[in-house]
Amino acid sequence: MVDYSVIGRQADAVRSREVVTGQARYCPDIRLPGMLVGKLLYPELPCARITRLDVSVARTLPGVVTVLTAKDIPGENSYLYAPPADQPLLVPVRVRYQGDALAAVAAETEESAQAALNAIQVEYEPLEGVYDVLEAMKPGAQQVWSDRENVYDHLVIDHGDIEAGFKQADIIIEHTYLTPLVEHAFMETEGAVAYRDGDGTMVVYSSCQAPHRDRMQIARSLGLPENQVRVITPHIGGAFGGKDEAHVQIHAALLAQASGRPVRIIRSREESILTHVKRHPVIVRYRSGITRDGKLTAVHAEAIGDTGPYLNAGKDVMNFVAATLSGPYFVPHARLESYTVFTNNPICGAMRGYGIPQASFAYEAQMDLLARAINMDPLEIRLLNGLETGMQVPTGVTIREGRGMKICLQEAAHLSGWKEHDKEDRQPAPHLRRGWGIASIWFSIGMGRNIPDHATATLEMTLDGSVILHTGAADMGQGAHTALAQMAAEAIGVKFEAVKVIGPDTDRTFDAGPSVASRQTFISGNAVLRAAQPVREALLQTASELTGLPMEILQLKQGLVLAEDEVLSLTVSELAVKAMEQNRRLQADGFYAMEYPEPLPPHSYRYAPSVFTFGTQVAQVLVDIETGQVTLEKLVVVQDAGKVINPGGARGQVEGGVIMGLGYALMEELLVGRGSTQNLNLGNYLIPTAKDVPGLIVKIMEIPEPYAPYGAKGLGEPPLTPTAPAILNAVVDAIGIPLYRIPLTPERILTAIEAHHAENPPNDV
Amino acid sequence: MNEIEIHLAVNGIPRTIQSEPGNTLLEILRDKLGLTGTKEGCGAGDCGACVVVMDGQAVNACLVLAAQAEGTQVITVEGLAQDGNLHPLQSYFAEKWALQCGFCTPGMLMSCYALLLNNPNPDPDEIRDAISGNLCRCGTYQSVVEAVLATVKMSQEARGG
């Protein structure tokens, strides 16, 4: 075991003092002289043609400085998350969903900006939209686009011989699983502040996950070279994927450019829920074959995702659903399919989990029904089929490090007392039923093959031995900056407190890619290690010259200089001064790109990721069969992290993910009727509160990942993904009736119980 | 607009503020006094990001009209630290990682501060009750409970008991 002095040790989050004193500045807290209030106009109908858009009155109102429509945009009128750039910034003619923007205004006050929106005259020709994903797939359905089919993408991942696989099965079962449309509900709504600097640079403070992509998008829409745009992230109040694509930063910059004044746009909570991308509601048809002794022989699963009218990350998310639908199990024959389907519902794309919450819900609910069909314990069937290192999965990838699957399963079983459950009280009162459920997941880290996945980090050692780390990686609260600072401290050999982090500022930091896909610990972490190496070497070389000792026995640790285990009377500062005098460089860049040394066999899925993490959760629930209320009594969470960089941060990521997962299981669902969202605030879109969180028993496993910095891999998303199926399986165990849909609202549970009693009259009880 | 004059004490400092009748306490704090530590998360009293302590009670500042704040004593997150020394709640929030993105943290801190004013020795359920109106999407609830318990323990030890 390597003895680290900073890695794996507790440290407060960088900049936490600013947060607890209220000094942390988020976009809404930024005030600039002469700053205007920016607002966007949203349509009254989710699907329409604009026949008249008259802003002439609005432009004349007192306090109104600028009103922009589509034709006022100097550059490209579209977002460019990835090609095709199909979503306009301001709709010229055709409204395709409730969150399309029609016009942008900048005014002296909130009131005058609102008055300007009210004074814009819009006439619509209502159009027939398509609001049901299965309807949208039918021939002759209303088309969202005239030049593209509603079924934008149909991916088929074929592995082995699916027919032969089903022939080997003793039992085949097939069910359909449904997951809801879900909202990120980051506490800070989307915001941006833009102003033109003295030299003409457009400076944009942006609450975002992808500052360098923001810069590119702003430049292309304003018609500026990219080096005339500077994107800075202030504190970011959560994101969870929902601030991966640009939101209002391009609009704020357009308004600042047109008005010549600073402009701030902050979305209201209603606007936030109305507009940004959501987690896809997905329908999964899942068919699997199994032998009587419990071996999976074949899986054929199809996932249908309602992606809304614009592509965004929709296809990528749905392809991830397909690529993981076989679950963390060895499946010799598989056909995994995804459909990405346009509708006039809200846009769907990245949200914590990126397709895996939908996939894991289906494969883990199905796994329990398979276990039930052959009368096998749910733990046993998972242990019997679980992935291992070296096994090939349907995408064509061979698992690099797969021990985590069974280690997490066994640990969760142990911590939850899985074998002891039946000794506990299953019916503590006549109307109450207790049950237990288990669920395991696999989760890929990084963007996937053939997708850009790299980062640069820069380190500077100063003459007093303190260090400045520049990173373009956005920290939205997940703790990336703290983890990177710890890695820098460890890798150079200074104390954690000696490292200061400069976060994304595109004039000062290099591109680290977006903070998505649980990738920054791995990718930016490796970049930091590569930057640290030459700095450390320059210091050690200097130490060797000063002491006459060979470099191999010298070490830097916590700011001390050691020869083997003996602390020398030299400081890092002295080394830095000496190194500088000898013209040695004490600044360095590190660049890292995800490596895929294993070749893929032919016909593999071309984006197949290679790094996987595993986790298992066990839920204990109490169901009131009279009210349908589910109480989550206990949740055991075992998650592989490769290596914990910061215990507090790691625990926060795991618990936070799990709490979002329990919201997914029990309460969260955006209700959309004919393209209009009904629950537009946090009073009717309910997320978990402190009182919804049960006793959590969390254990983080450390199974080092090859190629990862200190063996650490991402932890931001995976813990969310087993929670919903574990809870569902526990509820099914409690009431003895299969369920196929989340959230498990009291109504749904009562309906299922009633339907079951109607089919099975209770005279056999 | 007919402006009204509001008198209140914020973090111990008496203030006289010209306000429009429709202004909320949140707007007064953020826009008139520049105390942007108090956040707006929903504008509807659903999320608790704007919780401040008014006359010893936690209130959602977005739901308090300016006139209702007349003559009150208001404490915001900026008023917790004294002479540059963090309040123990603040120290334990940082130490226990009872914050991630930090946007709910000021409101969360003020709900906990109000709880301890009224109940110096709360149990975990009472703490959960006290913060049940503070939404944290990052999911720091468990750590918040631990930070409050650590604060209670420390103050009991400081009092010798």
CATH number at residue B129: 1.10.150.120
Radius of gyration of chain A (CA): 27
Count of the separate structural domains present in chain A: 3
Distance CA A615, CA A700 (A): 9
B49 closest CB neighbour out of A187, A479, A683: A187
Residue A1 pLDDT more than 80?
no
Residues of B in contact with A649 (CB under 8 A): 97
- Segment A371-418, tens digit of pLDDT: 999 999 999 999 999 999 999 999 999 999 999 999 999 999 999 999
Residues of A in contact with B101 (CB under 8 A): 186-188, 235-239, 476-477
**pLDDT score of A575:** 97
**pLDDT score of A570:** 95
**pLDDT score of A598:** 86
Whether A142 and A130 have beta carbons less than 8 Å apart is answered as yes
Distance from CA of B6 to the nearest CA of A (A): 21
Whether A204 and A217 have beta carbons less than 8 Å apart is answered as no
What pTM did the predictor assign? Answer: 0.97
Determine, yes or no, domain membership for A175: no
**A contact test, residue of B137, B140, B141, B143 with most A CBs within 10 A:** B137
Q: Within this chain, do residues A507 and A633 fall inside the same structural domain, yes or no?
A: no
Q: Within this chain, do residues A503 and A361 fall inside the same structural domain, yes or no?
A: no
B86 part of contact set with chain A, CB < 8 Å: yes
Widest Cα–Cα separation across chain B: 56
Residue B70 pLDDT more than 50?
yes
Residues of B in contact with A13 (CB under 8 A): 94, 97, 99-100
**Contact: B100, A477; criterion CB under 8 Å:** yes
Residue A764 pLDDT more than 60?
no
**Contact: B133, A269; criterion CB under 8 Å:** no
CATH code, domain with A116: 3.90.1170.50
Residues of A in contact with B29 (CB under 8 A): none
Cα angle A163, A168, A169; round to 5: 100
Structure tokens, B19 = 């306000």
Residue A722 pLDDT more than 80?
yes
**pLDDT score of A765:** 44
Q: State the residue range of the domain holding A580.
A: 16-22+454-593
Mean of pLDDT values over B29-43? 97
Q: Within this chain, do residues A518 and A534 fall inside the same structural domain, yes or no?
A: yes
Determine, yes or no, domain membership for A144: no
B8: left (phi > 0), else alpha (psi -120 to 50), else beta? Answer: beta
SS3 call for A60? helix
Determine, yes or no, domain membership for A178: no
- Segment A258-301, tens digit of pLDDT: 999 999 999 999 999 999 999 999 999 999 999 999 999 999 99
Determine, yes or no, domain membership for A316: yes
Q: Within this chain, do residues A683 and A640 fall inside the same structural domain, yes or no?
A: yes
**Contact: A189, B41; criterion CB under 8 Å:** yes
Q: For residue A555, give the nearest of A568, A574, A585, A545 by alpha carbon.
A: A568
Distance CA B59, CA B142 (A): 22
**B contact test, residue of A12, A15, A21, A193 with most B CBs within 10 A:** A21
Distance CA A23, CA A221 (A): 33
**Contact: B46, A23; criterion CB under 8 Å:** no
Please give the residue of chain B at the shortest CA–CA distance from A478: B100
Last residue of a domain, one of A229, A256, A275: A275
Distance from CA of B23 to the nearest CA of A (A): 12
- Segment A527-585, tens digit of pLDDT: 999 999 999 999 999 999 999 999 999 999 999 999 998 999 999 999 999 999 999 99
Last residue of a domain, one of B62, B79, B96: B79
Determine, yes or no, domain membership for A123: yes
In what helix (H) or strand (E) does residue B8 lie, and over which residues does it extend? strand B4-10
Distance from CA of A36 to the nearest CA of B (A): 14
Q: Within this chain, do residues B73 and B8 fall inside the same structural domain, yes or no?
A: yes
**A contact test, residue of B111, B138, B148 with most A CBs within 10 A:** B138
CA B17 to chain centroid, in Å, comes to: 21
Q: Within this chain, do residues B75 and B104 fall inside the same structural domain, yes or no?
A: no
**Contact: B39, A187; criterion CB under 8 Å:** yes
Count of the separate structural domains present in chain B: 2
Positive or negative: CA dihedral A69, A72, A76, A80: negative
B139 closest CB neighbour out of A184, A236, A655: A655
Q: State the residue range of the domain holding B147.
A: 88-158
Q: Within this chain, do residues A542 and A562 fall inside the same structural domain, yes or no?
A: yes
Predicted confidence band of residue A116 (pLDDT cuts 50, 70, 90): very high
Residues 50-79, chain B, touching A (beta carbon < 8 A): 76-78
Distance CA A115, CA A92 (A): 22
Q: Within this chain, do residues A732 and A754 fall inside the same structural domain, yes or no?
A: yes
Residues of A in contact with B138 (CB under 8 A): 187, 238, 477, 652, 656
CATH code, domain with A574: 3.30.365.10
Structure tokens, B7 = 């008198």
Average pLDDT, chain A: 96
**pLDDT score of B154:** 95
**A contact test, residue of B74, B103, B126, B136 with most A CBs within 10 A:** B103
Q: Within this chain, do residues A301 and A440 fall inside the same structural domain, yes or no?
A: yes
**Contact: A648, B43; criterion CB under 8 Å:** no
Q: Within this chain, do residues B12 and B53 fall inside the same structural domain, yes or no?
A: yes
Residues of B in contact with A189 (CB under 8 A): 41
Q: Within this chain, do residues A426 and A390 fall inside the same structural domain, yes or no?
A: yes
Alpha-carbon separation of residue A368 from A291, A356, A745 (angstroms):
15, 18, 21
Neighbours of A431 (CB within 10 A): 11
Last residue of a domain, one of A240, A275, A310: A275
- Segment A329-369, tens digit of pLDDT: 999 999 999 999 999 999 999 999 999 999 999 999 999 99
Determine, yes or no, domain membership for A632: yes
Distance CA A409, CA A717 (A): 18
Q: Within this chain, do residues A441 and A547 fall inside the same structural domain, yes or no?
A: no
B139 part of contact set with chain A, CB < 8 Å: yes
SS3 call for A279? strand
Q: Within this chain, do residues A496 and A409 fall inside the same structural domain, yes or no?
A: no
B39 part of contact set with chain A, CB < 8 Å: yes
Q: Within this chain, do residues B74 and B105 fall inside the same structural domain, yes or no?
A: no
Last residue of a domain, one of A593, A628, A658: A593
Please give the residue of chain B at the shortest CA–CA distance from A23: B37
Q: Within this chain, do residues B24 and B64 fall inside the same structural domain, yes or no?
A: yes
Is the ipTM beyond the 0.85 threshold?
A: yes
Predicted confidence band of residue A423 (pLDDT cuts 50, 70, 90): confident
Structure tokens, B133 = 């109106």
B128 closest CB neighbour out of A184, A476, A690: A690
Distance CA A539, CA A551 (A): 10
CATH code, domain with B60: 3.10.20.30
Q: Within this chain, do residues B93 and B72 fall inside the same structural domain, yes or no?
A: no
**Contact: A683, B142; criterion CB under 8 Å:** no
Q: Within this chain, do residues B135 and B108 fall inside the same structural domain, yes or no?
A: yes
| Chains A & B: contacts with CB separation below 8 Å | 173
Distance CA A243, CA A247 (A): 7
Determine, yes or no, domain membership for A40: yes
- Segment A591-629, tens digit of pLDDT: 999 999 888 998 899 999 989 999 999 999 999 999 999
State percent of chain A over pLDDT 70: 99
Q: Within this chain, do residues A430 and A470 fall inside the same structural domain, yes or no?
A: no
Mean of pLDDT values over A79-98? 96
